[in-house]
């Protein structure tokens, strides 16, 4: 079986991708980009109605373009922090769409607040989704990919995984764990033909960000910086768009990144100064 690039050079046409957190800003845009490159996509998220809305929108967009084939989409509501649900997701996707070739771990939650006020429940929930969910989904998918000798996994973390942020200890710790896990997994799987990489966004124009700045311009504090929180601004002068992050994810999934593994690509407009 060959795995060379298709007509657009990405090698994604006809592949089967799973995207977790597919109802969120980055996840939804990643799904849309994969559809445009003619991959079959399984959308995984706890918000079933939002998945259905996204599938309907993507089908409508495809129908409006006479050149576009009907997208192969499968909405699978599930909680990635539960092993049994993850196993069921993988089995259903392979039964209905075919062998999984690509995985994007984009599911994530944010419970902001200082450590002194962080409840054990907030800590446990954050680690369960952002770290354990990556472990469970990656393990389940990789066990199918490895015998077939082909595949790519991209985990979406955060620039907070490497740069301390006030009020974000649980989130940063969970993303650091997901980052380290993905690289270790990639090392273990390197000889099987499976590549594992990380995309680390900075402040991105999504509901997760706007929820932090209720009642004011959500982007301004991130762009200008907050010296009292030891946080520099964004040198490019704008927030990332979900599109910016999704493009990095799709590149690392693609055959154009065919010799890239164990890497961490930061997409933050220079906010962490390249460190």
Report the C-alpha gap between 105 and 202 in whole angstroms: 16
Contacts for 247 with CB less than 8 Å, ≥ 6 apart: 33
Report the C-alpha gap between 86 and 90 in whole angstroms: 6
Please tell me which residue in 135, 171, 230, 243 is annotated as part of the active site: 171
| Active-site residue flag, 135 | no
Q: Which helix (H) or strand (E) segment is 152 a member of? A: strand 151-156
Runs of H (alpha helix) within the chain: 25-36, 48-63, 83-96, 120-127, 133-148, 169-189, 207-210, 220-224, 242-253
Radius of gyration of the chain (CA): 18
Does the CA dihedral 230-234-238-240 come out positive or negative? negative
* Side-by-side strand order, sheet with 194-201: 73-77, 40-45, 16-20, 102-105, 151-156, 194-201, 264-267
- Residues classed as catalytic: 171
């Amino acid at each position: 079986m060959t795995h060379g690039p298709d007509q657009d050079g990405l090698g994604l046409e006809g592949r089967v991708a799973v995207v977790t957190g597919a109802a969120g800003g980055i996840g939804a845009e990643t799904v849309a980009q994969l559809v445009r490159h003619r991959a079959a996509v399984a959308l995984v998220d706890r918000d079933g109605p939002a998945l259905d809305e996204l599938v309907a929108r993507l089908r409508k967009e495809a129908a409006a373009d006479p050149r576009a084939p009907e997208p192969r989409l499968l909405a699978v509501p599930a909680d990635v922090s539960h092993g049994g649900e993850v196993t069921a997701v993988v089995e259903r996707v392979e039964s209905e769409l075919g062998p999984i070739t690509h995985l994007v771990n984009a599911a994530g939650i944010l419970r902001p607040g200082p450590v002194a006020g962080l409840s054990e429940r907030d800590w446990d929930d954050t680690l369960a989704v952002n770290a354990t969910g990556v472990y469970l989904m990656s393990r389940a998918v990789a066990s199918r990919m490895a015998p077939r000798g082909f595949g790519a996994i991209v985990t979406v973390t955060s620039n907070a995984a490497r740069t301390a942020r006030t009020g974000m200890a649980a989130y940063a710790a969970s993303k650091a764990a997901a980052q380290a896990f993905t690289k270790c997994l990639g090392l273990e799987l390197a000889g099987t033909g499976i590549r594992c990489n990380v995309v680390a966004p900075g402040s991105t124009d999504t509901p997760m960000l706007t929820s932090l700045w209720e009642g004011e311009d959500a982007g301004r504090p991130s762009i200008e910086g907050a010296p009292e929180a030891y946080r520099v601004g964004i040198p490019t002068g704008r927030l990332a768009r979900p599109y910016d992050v999704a493009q990095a994810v799709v590149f690392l999934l693609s055959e154009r990144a065919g010799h890239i593994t164990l890497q961490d690509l930061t997409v933050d407009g220079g906010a962490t100064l390249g460190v």
